[in-house]
Chain A
Amino acid sequence: MQARTRWWLIGVIALVIAALIGVLEPVKLRDRRDPDTGRPVKALKQVGPLRFYKPHIGLTLGLDLRGGIHLVLQAQREGVFEFSAPELSEPRNESQQAETWERIVNLLPMDNIGTDKREVDLDREGTRIRVRTRVRDRADMQRQGKIIADLLTAQFPKIETKEETMQSVSGSDLTSIVRILDNRINAFGVAEPVIQSQLPDRVIVELPGIKDPEKAKEMIKKTAVLQFRAVPRKYAYGDKGPAVTKVEGQDVYTFADAASKEVPTSKVIDESPIVATGRDLKPGSSRVVSVPGQPTAVTFSLVGNARKDFENFTRGNVRAFLAVVLDGRMISCPIIKSTIPGEGVIEGGFDRPGGLEEARDLSILLNAGALPFDLEYVENRTISPELGEDALHKSLMAGLVGMAVVLVFMVAYYRLPGLLADVALVMYCFLLMGAIKLVNQVLTLPGILAVIISIGMAVDANIIIFERLKEEIRTGKTLRSAVEAAFKRAWTAILDSNVCSIGTGIVLFYFGTGPIKGFAVALIIGVAVSLFTAVTVTRLFMNMTVDSRLAGNLALFGVSPQEVQE
């Protein structure tokens, strides 16, 4: 054996061993943790810093195999249409104003516009109408704008479109949405959640192994609009606070007017002016402070101009009540105790049993309240773990059977080179798993399929080379030069075809979503690794055989001696 060949051999074997250790994790420096529970696993033996464990396949399984939910949320886009309406310009009192407003609202039924959300604003002078609707995209907005203009023109012929804009989230908004979602999801203690932004306005959330998907889904999306509102003094001031009752585990606040008559909470909310909104809250700033001997408190802090405004407001309204409203529901209604210079605490009522839980919930919701846009689920896939487990076992079985057939076929058809290719193929499997682990790719069901398909494809290069080898041997070359020539000549075709496979893999990765991305990554890695094993490793083995005594027997290479041209 030549020195170079020997070094190559050592390198390849070392690589395979490294891949095996990486995948099976039998030896680790740090504690190995159970991927599902997160608890450390007990080591079999410890030698210095090395800990020895029972081997297991340490690849992260995707949602489709572990069960869980895959959600795609989209920040809602809004179309804002402004019209000037000269007909409405005469002075009017409030009730007339309200009447006009109602008339305009009735003019614009949502079904006619083709949207599920529309708000109509009329400015004080009554000359401008602003309509906000939910739109799907720019084309949809233009379509809606035209319909709205037509509907209004029918009633007010002089109406004129002033502005038409689409509002959507910016990149930094999306980043903050991701951060907030991340924050909130961590709060329910899901192991290994995935939260990814997908430009321009989508967020992908993957929660593996979650027990109650409905609740999680609700919690994730729940918060859209958080407001701090000042409750008018006629409903609550000083000692006269709202009554708190529990309905289905949620606090419900009820107010009474001067005549002690109960007032609907929604009416109170409507009449309370907004002091600050979720946008003014510093994301992630709300925490639960629980110190023995002091009441449990929930902190919050504001940013920007809101700090000053809030301070001024609270200075003038000590002993008034502040309603914390989330999506139209009052989640808390504390009394203002002192001037709040931008950083405040909500306390009291959290020290009863279950209060800590409530405090934590409030803090999560406050943090989440900084979520600036409406989110809607555009894709939701809930997978139970049992389907995945079943599929995993069956595909692994199928993969083993398929591989066995390939191994037998290669030996039967290509004899000795086939056997060498088989060894390379087994190495390929280990290296492939190692590579998947190395790039930290989550293994999905389509990913496993890609791995199995790539086993079938990995020997392609070998087939091309070995067919060529037969031809070269038949021309009467020595075995050594035949091997040399076969690898050299086959290389262009192998390279071109594999580049095409990798190219389509990259396209698939770029355009695909979820499990398809997993498929694409596994395919790309598979093709790349197979190039190494099928060409480099097999070549190494072939060079070793050429030097050995086996080289004399051409039948081992699938060529009968009489076929050889002299």
Chain B
Amino acid sequence: MVDLFRGRKWDLVHLRNLWFAISLLFILPGLVFWVTRGMNYGIDFTGGGLITYKLAQPISRGEEMTALAKARDALKKTGIDTRVQTAGTSAGSDQLLVRTRRAEHNANEALSQQEKAIEGALAPVFPGIRRVGLDMVSPVMSRDLLKNAVWSVVAGMGFILLWVWARYHGWQWGSTALVALTHDVLVLIGVFAMTYREINSPFVAAALTVVGFSVHDTIIIYDRIRENLRLRKGSTFAETVNTSLLETMARSLNTVLTVEFVLTAMYFLGGASLRDFTFAMIVGVTVGAYSSIFNASQLMVVLKNREERRVAQRRALAGRPAAAPAARTVRSAGERGARQLPQAAPKRLSVSEPAAEAVGGRAAADASPEEAEAAGERTPRDARKKVKAARKRKKRF
């Protein structure tokens, strides 16, 4: 098979505002639906009852509306506040789902009484109906489940933020990864708002799994950006990012593809009960790939550019030449102590000058990062560590 992305010279970074606009285009309509129509929360989060009936004869797609209308009529006579829905395969529905509103107290007893009335009402309309599932979540429980759901998403994303931050020695890496993940979750929620699919505990599990998986792609790209920064591929940060994106494109897409294969198989063949879960995963994984390539890395460029500009301004104010050789400042950092460092530090990180000079010409293209590291103190990484330490010290003063 050919490598589709090898040797391409696309400038992905240049178009970053377009990518951000596309993201907004996906997020905003969903949010509008969320605000105007609201979400289809499952009983996990609202409390209430869900009774699943199996029909003796499946209803074909065309007859669904009339069947539902009949069911609603029958249920209206019981005086119980219910919502009815069908479920099944694309060929036809063989399940009838009846939701009841939550009872504030003794929800279980309330439901078992209602259940009898509901079954009594439905039996004449759908002969041979059988109850196959009965779910009840009390309001107390649903409040806890909702709280846990929110906390789990916060904790999961917080963990990733801290991990990436720690591993990449910079808040920019962690926070841009986090923004990309938030983007994925927002799109996911938006799609569920638009399609009015149910938001329940499995949805939250799917969202978290998506978060955990979507960051894979981001890390693949970041890992390459970091490496290319050391190897000095591309002369500006933006160029380095662009090169890295193109180099990793094949693996970014392939890792997502293999997961999509199994998910698609699951969606079409796996039966009704997990279809929403699988749908959420498919949407999330796809969006996750997009956000890794077109949001996270592009945001890194935005952040770095801004930092560069700020540093330049500060320099101008301080009356220093803006284009002071980075190499010299970094080197002096180690020798002259921490006090002078703060001005130098961001400049080093922005890598707008070839970093090669910073490491004394060591970072020739063939030198691997490990070798460069072995070369001793004057590698970018060591310098960065010192810069960080110096920054910390500065904060304390």
Contact = CB atoms under 8 A, between A and B. Distances in A.
Interface of A: 64, 72, 74, 114-116, 134, 136, 213-214, 217, 376-384, 386-387, 390-391, 394-395, 397-399, 401-403, 405-406, 409-410, 412-413, 445-446, 449-450, 452-453, 455-457, 459-460, 463-464, 467, 470-471, 485, 488-489, 492-493, 496-497, 499-505, 507-508, 510-513, 515-516, 519-520, 523, 558
A455 B262 contact: yes
Q: Which 6 A-B pairs have the closest CB atoms?
A: A402-B262, A504-B212, A402-B265, A116-B105, A511-B152, A456-B259
Contact of B108 (A376, A391, A402, A499): A376
B341 interface: no
A409 B258 contact: yes
B273 A445 contact: yes
B106 to A, nearest CB: 6
Contacts of A504: 156, 159-160, 208-209, 211-212
Interface of B: 1, 3, 52, 54, 104-108, 111-112, 130-141, 145, 148-149, 151-152, 155-156, 159-160, 163-164, 167, 201-202, 204-205, 208-209, 211-213, 215-216, 219-220, 223-224, 227, 247-248, 250-251, 254-255, 257-266, 268-271, 273-274, 277-278, 281, 368, 370
A401 B159 contact: no
Contacts of B133: 381-384, 387
Listed residue (A74, A382, A390, A398) with the most chain B CB atoms within 10 angstroms of its CB: A398
A420 to B, nearest CB: 15
Nearest to A496: B219
Contact of B141 (A378, A410, A456, A488): A378
A456 B262 contact: yes
Nearest to A116: B105
Contacts of B265: 398-399, 401-402, 405, 452
A376 B106 contact: yes
Contacts of A500: 159-160, 163-164, 212, 215-216, 219
B212 A512 contact: no
Contacts of B269: 394, 397-398, 401
A449 B266 contact: yes
B268 A398 contact: yes
5 contacts: A386-B132, A395-B270, A395-B274, A453-B262, A453-B266
A406 B259 CA distance: 8
B140 A378 contact: yes
B257 A497 contact: no
Contacts of A116: 104-106
B205 A377 contact: no
A398 B223 contact: no
A510 B159 CA distance: 13
Given A456-B263, A493-B223, A507 B134 contact: no
A377 B136 contact: yes
Contacts of B104: 114, 116
Contacts of A502: 212
A558 B151 contact: no
B215 A463 contact: no
A413 B254 contact: yes
A402 B152 contact: no
A214 B113 CA distance: 11
Contacts of B264: 402
B136 A510 contact: no
Listed residue (B138, B224, B264) with the most chain A CB atoms within 10 angstroms of its CB: B138
A114 B105 CA distance: 10
Nearest to A467: B251
B141 A457 contact: no
A464 B247 CA distance: 12
B208 A507 contact: yes
Given A398-B265, A456-B260, A501 B152 contact: no
Contacts of B260: 456
A463 B135 contact: no
A501 B255 CA distance: 14
A221 to B, nearest CB: 8
Contacts of A497: 215-216, 219-220
A485 B368 contact: yes
Nearest to A500: B215
Interface majority SS (helix, strand, loop, mixed), chain A: helix
Nearest to B167: A496
A214 B107 CA distance: 14
A450 B208 CA distance: 12
Contacts of B208: 504, 507-508
A515 B44 CA distance: 13
Listed residue (B160, B208, B258, B266) with the most chain A CB atoms within 10 angstroms of its CB: B258
B268 A467 contact: no
A402 B266 contact: yes
Contacts of A413: 1, 254
Contacts of B140: 74, 136, 378
A169 to B, nearest CB: 15
A380 B270 contact: no
A467 B251 CA distance: 6
Contacts of A449: 266, 270, 274, 277-278
B258 A386 contact: no
A64 B212 CA distance: 25
Contacts of A377: 107-108, 136, 138
Contacts of B111: 380
A134 B105 CA distance: 10
Given A72-B141, A523-B209, A402 B167 contact: no
B288 to A, nearest CB: 12
A527 to B, nearest CB: 9
Contacts of B106: 116, 376
Given A453-B263, A500-B160, A381 B134 contact: yes
A278 B295 CA distance: 63
Nearest to A72: B141
Contacts of A493: 219-220, 223-224
A380 B135 CA distance: 5
A513 B247 CA distance: 41
A511 B148 contact: yes
B270 A398 contact: yes
Contact of A520 (B131, B205, B278): B205
Contact of A446 (B52, B202, B261): B202
Contacts of B1: 412-413, 558
A453 B209 contact: yes
A391 B274 contact: yes
Nearest to B250: A467
A399 B205 contact: no
A473 B191 CA distance: 43
A217 B281 CA distance: 35
A379 B138 CA distance: 6
A395 B205 contact: no
A550 B212 CA distance: 37
A536 B112 CA distance: 54
Given A401-B269, A463-B255, A504-B211, A380 B262 contact: no
Given A72-B141, A456-B258, A508-B208, A381 B270 contact: no
Contacts of B257: 409
Nearest to B201: A516
Contact of B273 (A379, A391, A455, A508): A391
A383 B212 CA distance: 30
Given A398-B265, A511-B149, A516-B202, A503 B138 contact: no
A510 to B, nearest CB: 7
Contacts of A471: 247
Contacts of B202: 446, 515-516, 519
B184 to A, nearest CB: 12
Nearest to B147: A511
A485 to B, nearest CB: 7
Contacts of A460: 216, 255, 258-259
B320 to A, nearest CB: 36
A464 B274 CA distance: 30
B215 to A, nearest CB: 5
A301 to B, nearest CB: 33
